[in-house]
């Protein structure tokens, strides 16, 4: 939510609360209970600390507004009772924690969406070689899509991101009278 929208929502809520206390509550029920909703809203918009701060600030504001009228003291004693204050604190803490959890979840969802988008982009770049390809029985060249006979390593290098180095297997080394190759040969990259 935009910072200015948060500020506007908080300002409207505080002004509404004060107007309700000033003009509606003196003739009817104790509308200062709506303060719990205001504290919850502040905790939701700005976090637990702001919610707790607004709870501490609303108690004297409620007392001041109610002292302006001739109202029974039971409302004021209720507004300053530990039970009412603890409900305000509980509302601030719970809604602030809920907001933090929602923010963390939305950040994780954004991260997962970006990671998924990156994976989809990479998957589009990966080309899979499939189907039947024509391979020369004698020299092992492969027929390209353009009709050219290419060395298989050149063909695969064009179609994939594979790099090749040349060596000789142990069977061919025996056939040509060479020393058998080690199991982990050290390759030199050649650029054909």
End-to-end CA distance of the chain: 58
Q: Residue 187 gets which letter from DSSP? A: P
Most confident of 47-51, 101-105, 140-144, 174-178: 101-105
Which pair of structure tokens corresponds to residue 102? 């929602």
Q: Is residue 167 over pLDDT 90?
A: no
C-alpha–C-alpha distance, residues 41 and 4, integer Å: 15
Q: What pLDDT does residue 1 have?
A: 63
User: Vertex 50, ends 45 and 53: CA angle to 5°?
Assistant: 145
Q: Residue 60 gets which letter from DSSP? A: H
pTM attached to this predicted model: 0.48
DSSP E strand boundaries for 24-183: 142-143, 149-150
Look at 50 and 24; give whichever has higher pLDDT. Answer: 50
Percent over 90 (pLDDT), the chain? 8
Q: What pLDDT does residue 10 have?
A: 80
Q: Is residue 190 over pLDDT 60?
A: no
Please state, in angstroms and as integers, the Cα–Cα distance from residue 20 to each residue in 24, 53, 103, 157, following that order.
5, 21, 32, 76
35's CB contacts (< 8 A; 6+ apart) are 17, 58, 62, 88
Q: Is residue 70 over pLDDT 70?
A: no
């Amino acid at each position: 939510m935009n910072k200015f929208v948060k500020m506007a929502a908080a300002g409207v809520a505080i002004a509404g609360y004060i107007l309700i206390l000033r003009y509606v509550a003196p003739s009817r029920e104790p509308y200062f209970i709506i303060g719990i909703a205001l504290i919850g809203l502040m905790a939701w918009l700005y976090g637990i600390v702001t919610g707790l701060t607004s709870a501490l600030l609303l108690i004297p504001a409620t007392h001041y507004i109610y002292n302006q009228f001739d109202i029974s003291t039971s409302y004021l004693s209720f507004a300053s009772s530990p039970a009412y204050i603890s409900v305000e604190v509980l509302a601030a803490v719970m809604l602030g924690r809920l907001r933090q959890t929602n923010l963390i979840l939305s950040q994780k969802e954004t991260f997962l969406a970006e990671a998924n988008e990156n994976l989809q982009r990479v998957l589009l770049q990966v080309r899979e070689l499939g189907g039947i390809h024509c391979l020369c029985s004698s020299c092992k060249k492969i027929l390209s899509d353009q009709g050219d006979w290419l060395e298989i390593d050149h063909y695969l290098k064009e179609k994939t991101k594979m790099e090749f180095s040349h060596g000789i297997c142990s069977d061919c080394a025996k056939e040509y009278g060479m020393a058998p190759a080690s199991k982990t040969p050290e390759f030199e990259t050649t650029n054909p």
